[in-house]
Amino acid sequence: MSGYPYGLRVNPFFHAPVPSPEVAKALGGRSWLEARERILQCVKEMKEGLSRGQEGFSVITVVGQPGTGKTHLCLHLRALAKEVGFECAYVDLTKVERKDLRSIYRGMLDDLRKTRFFERLKQGLIQRLVEMAEKGDRRAEKALLPSLLDRILRRRPRELISKRGRLDAQLASEVLEPWDPERREGVFRLLLGDVGWFYGPEELEGVLRRLKIVTSFSCTYLGRPVLLEVDEVDASRPLLDGLKALINDRPPGLLLMVTLLPSVDIQIGREDPALADRLRRATFLCELSQPRDPEEMWDIIRAYLRFFGARMAVEDESMLGDFVRFLYADFGVREIRDALAIMREAFERARGAERIGEEALSEAVRTVRPAASLSDSIMRMTLYDYHRILRTRMRTPEETSSNLAEALRSLGAFLVETGRLAYCHPKARRIETPGGARQFRSVDVYWEDKAGRVIVLDVKITGSGYLTKQMIENVIDIANHSRVHEVAVVSNAVCPLDIRPLKLRAVKLSERRIADFIYFSERYTAWNLTPDQMSRAIELVRELGIELA
């Protein structure tokens, strides 16, 4: 199958509302990057405490509306655990039927097993036993089961375990955990490979004890704190009781990260003020929202492209960045999910091409948000129609001039039909200019209002930013030497005051406003104007600075 633009083998933008663990490795946007760094700083501080023999406890609270990247942040941190040096367990409460501490604990164990946590923990126990034996602990050495030959050859403890891979689990557990019977039992079960023991307790107190053993073992034998991510917390009573008990118990080496909606945050405040206070006074409180500006939205999109290895030239990044900024600022695409959906559709439409073109981007918007319109379009023109008009009817200054002039004549015909004008000439018209440089001058648009006033408009679209006197000499003659009541030059450029007479008005239209006029003309000539668009057509007249009698 053909690849995607910029050398991509896969579409970098996911389809599901919740990202996959692989996709979540990409992270962009100032808010999310800042949140990641703050959370990693909490991890670093706890690791530094472990090196000093201190097993701390932290709470991290992340609040945000749906679609603000809470789950993405959780999965991204989970992907960093191995590299940074901490254990991470992600528990999605939307997939848990019974929401209480027992379910959270079991979900934590399930996720830790995916990273071979208990196998690594077992190796950590054996490593500690070997170290104790090498330092002269006779009972630790005896737990490694040395034979008579091993003693004669004076084999080192490390050789014994690597050679045979067996030991006395009961004695080893007594050596490693001599004081606490339950911790000793935990070591014994780990050495036997019996992970099921950790799932055992049903009651709250038992769950807390086992959870503390898991986190403490991780710190003691692996030197790694545990980040427990509890995603989508709600205000159900068993869950609130369990979270409060967990926070009050302060398991050593645990960073508890909870994510919740603002509405749930408020509800917890009503249901359990004490717990709400603990969550609000967390080690780190993060409030996520949608991207704050177009640049942050583009940074998120660019992070996906870079993560998946897009090979983009400077002009490619510039074009795509401008499009994303346009989506945000002018088309009202402010939610991450909407932007990602549009980008995914655009990449699918451009599959097989070297780069994404405007047509693919425009079609993607039309597919994902078919009814949405440009925020400042008088005619409520969709982005698809805007880009279509740019591509097919505004390609050159000459083409734009011709189509805008035709649109102004269509507007005049509409005003005649609705009784707001007396007459509109159907095409360009010559105006007599006695005393001027020429006897007659031509203009693009000729209107007569119901009071008998003559209004003429001439379109001058240029590739430069200014009109020159030579460009508008026809309307200068009309303004100075005709009986026309009102003369205006309609352009996309500035018409300096020093080159035009007082009677001549200059109307400067933006590219988008020109497209508005052309869009109106298309709808009018196709007999497809809605009542709302008919009323908006009057606003187009005001854009020209014309007050009809």
For residue 154, what pLDDT is reported?
63
325 plus 276 within the same structural domain? no
381 inside domain: no
In a domain, 492, yes or no: yes
CATH number of the domain encompassing residue 533:
3.40.1350
Same structural domain, 128 and 276: no
If asked whether residues 410 and 471 sit together in one domain, one would say: yes
The verdict on 108 and 31 lying in the same domain is yes
Backbone phi, then psi, for 409, in 5-degree steps?
-70, -35
Total domains in the chain come to 4
Judgement on whether residues 244 and 219 belong to the same structural domain of the protein: yes
With beta carbons less than 8 A apart as the criterion, state whether 448 and 420 touch: no
Cα separation of 174 and 185, whole Å?
A: 9
pLDDT digits (tens, 9 = 90+) for 359-387: 888 889 888 888 777 778 899 888 888 88
One domain for residues 98 and 124 = no
CATH number at residue 278: 3.40.50.300
- Express each pLDDT in 463-506 by its tens digit: 888 899 899 999 999 999 999 999 999 999 998 887 788 788 99
The structure tokens listed for 179 are 């004081």
Question: What pLDDT was estimated at residue 170?
Answer: 92
How much is the pLDDT for 150?
Answer: 55
- 387 in a structural domain: no
Q: Is 7 among the domain residues?
A: no
Cα 294 to chain centroid, rounded: 11
pLDDT of residue 146: 56
In a domain, 315, yes or no: yes
* Domain final residue, candidates 191, 217, 245: 191
Q: Which domain holds residue 362?
A: 292-372
Same domain, 465 and 491: yes
Tokens representing 42 are 């909490």
From residue 33, give the alpha-carbon distance in Å to each of 39, 77, 130, 297, 320: 10, 11, 41, 13, 22
Shared-domain flag, residues 27 and 89:
yes
For residues 463 and 521, membership in a common domain is answered with: yes
Distance between CA atoms of residues 200 and 403, nearest Å: 77
Any domain includes 298: yes
**What are the φ and ψ backbone dihedral angles of 507, each rounded to 5 degrees?**
-115, 115
Residue 388 falls inside a structural domain: no
Do 330 and 476 belong to one domain? no
The 10s digit of each residue's pLDDT in 221-248 is 999 999 999 999 999 999 999 999 999 9
Residue 273, CA distances (Å) to 238, 244, 265, 278, 520 in order: 15, 11, 10, 9, 57
Let me know if 235 is exposed, middle or buried by CB neighbors in 10 A (0-12, 13-18, 19+): buried
Residue 368 and residue 303: Cα distance in Å, rounded? Answer: 22
Same domain, 315 and 362: yes
- Percentage of the chain surpassing pLDDT 90? 69
Task: Give the end of a domain, one of 156, 191, 226.
Answer: 191
Global pTM reads 0.80
* 3 found inside a domain: no
Return the pLDDT at 464.
Answer: 86
Confidence of residue 507 (pLDDT cuts 50, 70, 90): very high
Residue where a domain stops, chosen among 288, 307, 336: 288
Residues 81 and 225 in one domain: yes
Radius of gyration of the chain (CA): 36
pLDDT digits (tens, 9 = 90+) for 280-290: 999 999 999 99
Report strand pairing: 445-448 vs 454-460: antiparallel
Partners of 431 in the β-ladder: 441
Burial bucket for residue 418 (CB in 10 Å: 0-12, 13-18, 19+): exposed
